[in-house]
Amino acid sequence: MAQGIPDEVMMNTALIKELAEVAKDAALQQGVLMRIKETPNSSELVTYTSFTLFPTPVPKDVFHQALAVQTHYNTLVDKISQDADFLQEALASTIAVDDFTARLFKIHQQILKEGRSQSIVLGLNRSDYMLDQREDGTSSLKQIEINTFAASFGGLASRTPDVHRQILKVAGRLEESQRILDNNPAAGLVGAIAKAWELYGSERAIVMFLVEDTQRNIFDQRCIEYELWKRNIPTRRKGFGDVVKTGKLDQDKRLFVDDLEVAVVYFRNGYMPQNYISEQYWDARLLMERSLAAKCPDISTHLAGTKKVQQVLAKPGVLEKFFPDQPQVVGQIRATFAGLYTLDMGPEGDKTVAMALAAPDRFVLKPQREGGGNNIYGSEICKVLEEMKEPTERTAYILMDKIHPTPSKNYLLKRDAPLQISNCLCELGAYGAYVRRGEDMVMNECVGHLLRTKSSEHADGGVAVGVAVLDNPLLF
């Protein structure tokens, strides 16, 4: 394991068994927790959130590159969200074939027509990268996606450094334990929510977490909730059903749910089609968007995070539109782009299809969906493209170059899974937080990082869907 834990430690069966026990207890002690899948809505029985036994080596230069570019990504997302013409043009082909994106866009258009009620914009996002191995053996940072909606694991990522420090100390690896970085994205995310709440200007008004009915990953969210309560900021968890039943706007467009005034709507639900089980849920989303409350994200920021927007940004000259006279910023962002290709109707899209069918193993087909487990790889790409009933269906996807990260050896600790060494790949995320009031950017920060690792046999999937596990970078 290059620059990481030596083989004599990795292959010492007795030591590994001991360390695994230490690790699980340390995770439970630090609160790196998840409800069990058998009872996803009860905290009577919980387990540790899956994680790696050892931290994964990550080159210092690419790690710091990801953190340094994050404030520019925050600015970019915010600028896109304010550019109605750009969103209209970028998403035109997608909304023609993707009903979910079309529904979101309809809400966006209605808000534009009525005029935005709120002057406060709150953005909490996470830009995710993989490290592409160059021919000379060095790594290059390549963006997978930017999550502008419900960017998770900021809470638990704040608690994993101490777990790995403890494991390394017991393993006799004191020097490596001191190389584990402090990381507290939860504090930064809370700082931005608190700032938006403060700017709203009512001490009685609440921060409303809009949450799913089934919630295994509740402890990650509780980290943020409890930090808000420590600052005497009232917080409540509500579902779409609560907004449907009791949500209303007063004449000033203040939002009330269960007779509580809402200063901030923090969406942890609403990013997938199956989250909207009835027309009433869509009405509830529109009601919240029309309100004076700060939304995280608001509808235009939600749309700014779509895969299609990511692909359009990679076209020559597009970034320059958002950062005129800032070639250095453009260069920093563009350096993280992987090859992205349009599947729109026309010669360029036809060329992309031919390219994908000729060499499917070189690419990833990505639909407009958040959350892990939606991407399409290898021969499945040919199958999906060839089985489309209408050629226009392809415009609901983009094609991206497949990234080839350097694998490393590690043990993935998962409940009820055997303790065995795996070939692993990691994904690095950088958390961004920003608050804008009117034209004034009040806060714009990179607030922490997230490392997730999965076995190389899994092409796709995140922690919440049970494929990837939490990790920490061991910088070298």
pLDDT in tens, 430-453: 999 999 999 999 999 999 999 999
User: Is residue 217 flagged as an active site residue?
Assistant: no
* For residue 199, pLDDT beyond 90: yes
The catalytically annotated residue of 147, 158, 184, 444 is 147
Select which of 50, 125, 127, 152 is catalytic: 152
- pLDDT tens-digit map of 30-43: 999 999 999 999 99
383 a catalytic residue: no
Give me the mean pLDDT over the 353-363 stretch.
96
Residues 6+ apart with CB under 8 A from 47: 33, 34, 35, 36, 415
pLDDT at 463 over 90: no
Residue 462 predicted with pLDDT over 80: no
Q: Compute the C-alpha angle 76/80/84, nearest 5°.
A: 165
- Provide the CB-side half-sphere exposure for 299 (13 A, CA): 27
Per-residue confidence (pLDDT) for residue 1, from 0 to 100: 41
Q: How far apart are CA 153 and CA 221, in angstroms?
A: 8
Catalytic residue among 227, 370, 429, 454: 370
Task: Grade residue 393 by pLDDT with cuts at 50, 70 and 90.
Answer: very high
**Which candidate in 195, 268, 295, 307 is catalytic?**
307
Contact partners, residue 334, CB within 8 Å, separation at least 6: 314, 319
Considering Cα of 189, then 192, then 198, then 201, what sign does the dihedral take? negative
Mean pLDDT of 10-14: 97
Ramachandran sector of residue 370 (left: φ over 0; alpha: ψ -120 to 50; beta: rest) = beta
- Residue 374 within any structural domain of the chain: no
pTM: 0.95
**For this structure, is 334 an active site residue?**
no
375 inside domain = no
* Set 145, 176, 212, 427: catalytic member: 145
Cα separation of 186 and 301, whole Å? 21
Q: How many domains does the chain have?
A: 1
* Residue 18, domain member (yes or no): yes
**Residues 174-181: what's their mean pLDDT?**
96
Confidence (pLDDT) at 274? 95
Is 387 a residue of the active site? no
Percent of the chain with pLDDT over 90: 93
> Is 147 labeled as catalytic in the residue annotation?
yes
Give the tens place of pLDDT for each residue, 234-280. 999 999 999 999 999 999 999 999 999 999 999 999 999 999 999 99
The two beta strands, 255-257 and 248-249, are antiparallel
Is 452 noted as a catalytic residue in this protein?
yes
pLDDT tens track for 108-136 = 999 999 999 999 999 999 999 999 998 88
How remote is the C-alpha of 97 from its chain's centroid?
Answer: 24
Supply the pLDDT for residue 29. 98
Helix (H, G, I), strand (E, B) or coil at 141: strand
Which residue among the candidates 295, 366, 394, 454 is catalytic per the annotation? 366
Rg (CA), the chain: 22
> What average pLDDT score do residues 290-297 get?
98
CA distance 165 to 153: 19
Q: Which of 339, 371, 378, 461 is catalytic?
A: 371
The residue with greater pLDDT, 341 or 3, is 341
Task: Assess if residue 387 is contained within a domain.
Answer: no
- Whether residue 413 lies inside any domain: the answer is yes
Find, among 310, 271, 338, the residue nearest to 76 by Cα.
Answer: 310
Q: Is residue 143 part of a domain?
A: yes
Q: Tell me the average pLDDT across 145-170.
A: 97
* 371 catalytic per annotation: yes
The answer to whether 129 touches 66, Cβ cutoff 8 Å, is: yes
Angstrom distance (rounded) from CA 148 to CA 278 = 24
Which pLDDT value is given to residue 308? Answer: 95
DSSP state of 312: H
User: What's residue 371's pLDDT?
Assistant: 61
Note down the domain range covering 454. Answer: 7-338+403-475
**Separation between Cα atoms, residue 243 and residue 343, nearest integer Å:** 38
Q: How far apart are CA 147 and CA 77, in angstroms?
A: 10
Written as one string, the DSSP assignment of 168-222 is: HHHTT-HHHHTTBPP--HHHHHHHHHHHHHHHHT-TT-EEEEE--SS-TTHHHHH
Name the CA dihedral angle for 239, 244, 247, 251, rounded to a multiple of 10 degrees. 150
Mean pLDDT of 21-48: 98
Written as one string, the DSSP assignment of 390-425 is SGGGGGGEEEEEPP-BPPEEEEEE-TT----EEEEE
- 162, with CB counted inside 10 A (0-12, 13-18, 19+), is middle
In 285-418, DSSP assigns E strands to: 294-296, 340-341, 363-367, 376-377, 397-401, 408-413
81 is catalytic: no
The answer as to whether 383 is a domain residue is no
369 or 220, greater pLDDT: 220
437 is catalytic: no
**253 contacts: CB under 8 Å, gap ≥ 6:** 117, 290, 291, 292
| Residues 417-423, mean pLDDT to the nearest whole number | 96
- Structural domain includes residue 462: yes
pLDDT at 389: 86
Cα–Cα distances in angstroms (integers) from residue 273 to residues 213, 282, 323, in the given order: 15, 10, 33
